[in-house]
Amino acid sequence: ATSLHTVWCHVFKLSNGEVSCSSPRGGHHRGSLGTRCLLSCDRGYKRLGQASVQCMPNRRWSGSAVCRKIRCHVLPLIDHGMYSCTRGFVVDSRCDYNCYEGYQIEGDRYRMCQEEGTWSGTEPTCADHDPPKLKCPLSRVKVAEPGKVTAMVSWERPVAKDTADRALQVLRNGPESGSDFPEGTHVIRYKVSDQARNTATCKFTVHVEVRRCPKLKPPMHGYLMCSSDGNNYGAVCEYHCDPGFERTGFATRVCQLNRNWSDEAARCVLMDIKTDVRSAGALLDQFYEKRRLLVVSTPENANQKYRLQNIMLQKAECGLDLRHVTVIELLGTPPRAVGRIKQQQLEPEVIEGLRQALHISTAYFTMVLLDEYGVDRERFVNPTTSDELYSYVDEYLLTEEELERLAMNRDFCD
């Protein structure tokens, strides 16, 4: 017979727990047949398996168990704050909450991991009650820039500060820094809100002054072309003369900061072309930067192309004059060559000099169009209508100002 006091089962061990055994006969025979052991786990551990086991005749215990550490779930991070725990997320660990600068804690300041694996209390929040700080730049007065009726005004963008939020969106009501401001007073407002909807506002003014000179009167037999607003500081007024007149005096005047115009007014006097000069250069110099030239050359007056062109030029005389184009005719060949500007005759050496300088052959009909700087811009070997001439001059030789003036006088030649 087997003795009840014989060690029959191995000693039952339970990590992180306690085994309390009793044998049928008492005493210290923890592994004898029939011994019953009660199983319990230490604080912070949970038993998985049987609550008790018994030593069986097959030398095995009737069951098994393990003690597993109890853990609370990981606490979520809180907005604008943090927490620190004494022992992580195990039983009896304490997690204390703190808010970042500018925020105040609302709710439980700490939570404990309890034996059943849950946290005590509820999750706190960090609230922002302080409005941000916002300071606008000083108001400013600026004189409009030269040649403009506006002024570019710049300032340092206000920077908002908040004890809670680092990144703040500052909203502007009004033009942005670096904009062109028209004449007058302008109010610029800024507003900022933090994430808790606390707001702050500020404002300043920008005043733009436009200094002006007295308005100029156009010259007799001429007109003015002015930049910008015509009489504001920095505006430039250029004197122009009607066809057949030339300017004497300063071409331009500038409105100065002291509200006075620079220099004296120009005049328009009847253009006096001297045809009794002895060289082509002396003749051309009189037109430099003043008039464009259309040089018409023919081997003889009876040339069919010239005769047809001459009819069309007579019709185009007014339109060419509006475009500041003077016609020079070179008729025939030496020694009977004739040169003329309208009814004024040219010297023989001037006729020859023009043909040489412009590389014009006496063998056939040719027209050469020169710009106001004496540059050869186009050649025609066949008769050209007035509309074709106008179209070329308008597209390639006239400035924008001249085109505007031409549009205003479009009906002048009708």
Tell me the DSSP string of 277-332: -SSHHHHHHTTTTT-EEEEEEES-TT-HHHHHHHHHHHHHHHHHHHTTEEEEEEES
What does the alpha-carbon distance between residue 29 and residue 168 come to, in Å, rounded to a whole number? 76
Cα dihedral across residues 86, 90, 91, 96: positive or negative: positive
Residue 182 makes CB contacts below 8 A (sequence gap 6+) with 149, 150, 208
Contact 55, 33 (CB under 8 A): yes
Contact 158, 168 (CB under 8 A): no
**Which residue type, as a one-letter code, is found at position 99?**
C
Q: What is the pLDDT of residue 2?
A: 47
CA dihedral angle for residue 83, residue 87, residue 93, residue 94, rounded to 10 degrees: -30
Is the peptide bond prior to 243 cis by the omega test (within 30 degrees of 0)? no
Predicted TM-score of the model (pTM): 0.49
Contact 179, 205 (CB under 8 A): no
Whose structure tokens read 């479009």? 410
Q: What is the pLDDT of residue 408?
A: 82
Contact 398, 390 (CB under 8 A): no
How many angstroms separate the Cα of 62 from the Cα of each of 2, 25, 29, 37, 57? 19, 19, 17, 10, 10
The beta-carbon contacts of 389-396 under 8 Å, at least 24 apart in sequence, are: 389/294, 389/316, 389/319, 389/320, 390/316, 390/319, 390/323, 393/292, 393/320, 393/323, 393/325, 393/369, 394/323
Residue 204 makes CB contacts below 8 A (sequence gap 6+) with 136, 137, 138, 139, 140, 155, 187, 188
How many angstroms separate the Cα of 311 from the Cα of each of 18, 304, 307, 316, 338? 131, 11, 7, 9, 19
pLDDT beneath 70, residues of the chain: 1-5, 27-29, 165, 414
Which run of H or E residues covers position 166? none
CA atoms within 13 A on the CB side of 390: 18
Strand partners, 81: 99
CA dihedral angle for residue 282, residue 288, residue 292, residue 297, rounded to 10 degrees: 20
Contact 389, 316 (CB under 8 A): yes
Domains and CATH numbers, the chain: 17-69 (2.10.70.10), 81-127 (2.10.70.10), 140-207 (no CATH), 222-270 (2.10.70.10), 280-408 (3.40.30.10)
